[in-house]
């Protein structure tokens, strides 16, 4: 039985029940015309999707399509992708690297949109007073980062650009909160991290910004779904991307207001939010083969470093109709 046949049978039974209950023709006609109920389960970190949740505009746009929205907050992109893999969410936001690890682990993800490059929003920090003043000085040093995150790939390419290999530094895998604690205690020599954590450390700890990703990696953010959900709910995905882009358009015109709103969301000083937004480029658009080619380079790099167990074809994680 096809999905359309199943839906038709469900509507027929619903109309018959309505008639038996004594509902009038207008009510019965309304039931016949209403779309089948659908749900969109959004996973979000504290960021743009959280702002979208607060505005309530997505629910208003999706209501005529018969789609309800459920929101779940996560602490990091890899955790969101784990939720996608077990079927707990339908949509989320993530950096460059986590989708590579997720696809290698068999997650049925589909890339559905990407931001423009944002290289200034990730950086290598060293503590105040550190003798480290160049990337070459990192050789043999302890470098903290969040495993499988966007900064993981950034460090690989940054070292490569400066004539060092990944094995030339002692990588310490720590989530942001633990990495900050280790950084404050000088238990690590450097920290590779993204905003707003980097902006907060620069302002509160007077951390020195050794290098950002400019000229090294693009550092796009991605929006993802599952291949099955994206294929069956193209209308929902289209509305989602339009609503996310509306926040980007507003933010480009009102950067201070956006910085303030995000700072409140993060529980950080307004100056941290403004500094983070000051390093952000705006724009969200559809996935293209050229963008996925960037992801393929990341995947091949991680394979060569034995960070993923097998070669993957990133194009297999593309929703239909990419240019």
CATH code assigned at 179:
3.40.190.10
d(CA 150, CA 111) in angstroms, rounded, equals 16
Domain shared by 105 and 232, yes or no: yes
User: What are the DSSP E strand ranges found in the chain?
Assistant: 38-44, 67-73, 91-94, 109-115, 122-126, 142-145, 170-173, 190-194, 208-212, 222-226, 284-286
Which residue, 212, 234, 249, sits at the end of a domain? 212
User: By three-state DSSP, how is residue 169 classified?
Assistant: coil
Write down the pTM of the prediction: 0.81
- Spell out, as residue ranges, where the chain has pLDDT lower than 50: 1-15, 17-35
- pLDDT for the residue numbered 126: 98
Element counts in the chain: helices (H) and strands (E): 14, 11
Domain shared by 25 and 141, yes or no: no
Other beta carbons within 10 angstroms of residue 247's beta carbon come to: 20
User: By three-state DSSP, how is residue 306 classified?
Assistant: coil
Domain shared by 224 and 313, yes or no: yes
- pLDDT for the residue numbered 20: 47
- Over residues 110-152, the pLDDT tens digits come to 999 999 999 999 999 999 999 999 999 999 999 999 887 889 9
- pLDDT for the residue numbered 32: 42
Domain shared by 238 and 91, yes or no: yes
291 half-sphere exposure, CB direction, 13 A CA radius: 22
Domain assignment present for residue 100? The answer is yes
Domain assignment present for residue 271? The answer is yes
12: domain range? 1-34
Domain shared by 144 and 131, yes or no: yes
State how far the alpha carbon of 299 is from the alpha carbons of 154, 162, 193, in Å.
Answer: 13, 21, 20
Per the CB < 8 A criterion, the answer to whether 249 and 120 are in contact is no
d(CA 270, CA 28) in angstroms, rounded, equals 53
- Over residues 93-108, the pLDDT tens digits come to 988 888 999 999 999 9
Other beta carbons within 10 angstroms of residue 299's beta carbon come to: 25
Domain assignment present for residue 201? The answer is yes
Other beta carbons within 10 angstroms of residue 137's beta carbon come to: 16
Q: How far is CA 66 from the centre of its chain?
A: 26
Domain assignment present for residue 322? The answer is no
Domain assignment present for residue 313? The answer is yes
Domain shared by 236 and 311, yes or no: yes
Residue 44 main-chain phi, psi, to 5 deg: -145, 150
Domain assignment present for residue 323? The answer is no
Domain shared by 51 and 18, yes or no: no
Domain shared by 113 and 238, yes or no: yes
Domain shared by 104 and 236, yes or no: yes
- pLDDT for the residue numbered 323: 63
Instruction: Print burial letters for 189-203: b (CB count within 10 Å at least 16), e (below 16).
Output: bbbbbbbbbbbbbbe
- pLDDT for the residue numbered 36: 52
Domain assignment present for residue 135? The answer is yes
Which residue, 212, 247, 266, sits at the end of a domain? 212
Q: Is 71 exposed, middle or buried (0-12, 13-18, 19+ CB in 10 A)?
A: middle
How many domains does the chain divide into? 3
Domain shared by 205 and 126, yes or no: yes
Domain assignment present for residue 90? The answer is yes
Per the CB < 8 A criterion, the answer to whether 211 and 130 are in contact is no
The contacts of residue 259 (CB under 8 Å, 6+ apart) are 270, 273, 274, 275, 276, 277, 278
Per the CB < 8 A criterion, the answer to whether 253 and 282 are in contact is no
The CA angle 277-54-235, to the nearest 5 degrees, is 95
Domain shared by 81 and 156, yes or no: no
Domain shared by 84 and 137, yes or no: no
């Amino acid at each position: 039985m096809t999905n359309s046949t199943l839906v038709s049978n469900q509507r027929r039974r619903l109309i018959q029940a309505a008639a038996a209950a004594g509902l009038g023709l207008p009510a019965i006609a309304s039931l016949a015309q209403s779309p089948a109920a659908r749900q969109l389960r959004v996973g979000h970190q504290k960021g743009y999707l959280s702002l979208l949740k607060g505005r309530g505009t997505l629910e208003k746009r999706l209501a005529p399509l018969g789609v309800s929205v459920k929101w779940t907050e996560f602490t990091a992109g890899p955790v969101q992708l784990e939720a996608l893999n077990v079927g707990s969410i339908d949509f989320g936001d993530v950096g460059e690297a986590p989708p590579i690890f997720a696809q290698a682990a068999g997650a049925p993800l589909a890339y559905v949109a990407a931001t423009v490059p944002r290289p200034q929003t990730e950086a290598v920090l060293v503590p105040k007073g550190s003798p480290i003043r160049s990337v070459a000085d990192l050789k043999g040093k302890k470098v903290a980062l969040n495993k499988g995150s966007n900064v993981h790939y950034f460090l690989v390419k940054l070292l490569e650009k400066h004539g060092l290999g990944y094995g030339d530094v002692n990588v310490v895998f720590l989530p942001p909160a633990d990495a900050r604690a280790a950084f404050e205690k000088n238990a690590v020599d450097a920290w590779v991290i993204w905003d707003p954590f980097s902006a907060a450390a620069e302002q509160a700890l007077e951390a020195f910004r050794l290098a950002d990703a400019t000229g090294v990696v693009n550092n796009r953010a991605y929006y993802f779904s599952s291949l099955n959900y994206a294929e069956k709910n193209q209308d929902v995905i289209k509305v989602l991307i339009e609503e996310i882009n509306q926040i980007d358009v507003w933010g480009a015109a009102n950067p201070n207001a956006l910085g303030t709103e995000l700072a409140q969301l993060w529980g950080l000083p307004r100056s941290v939010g403004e500094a983070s937004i000051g390093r952000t480029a705006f724009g969200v658009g559809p996935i293209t083969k050229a963008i996925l080619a960037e992801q393929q380079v990341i995947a091949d790099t991680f394979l060569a470093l034995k960070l993923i167990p097998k070669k993957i074809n990133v194009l297999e994680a593309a929703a239909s109709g990419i240019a």
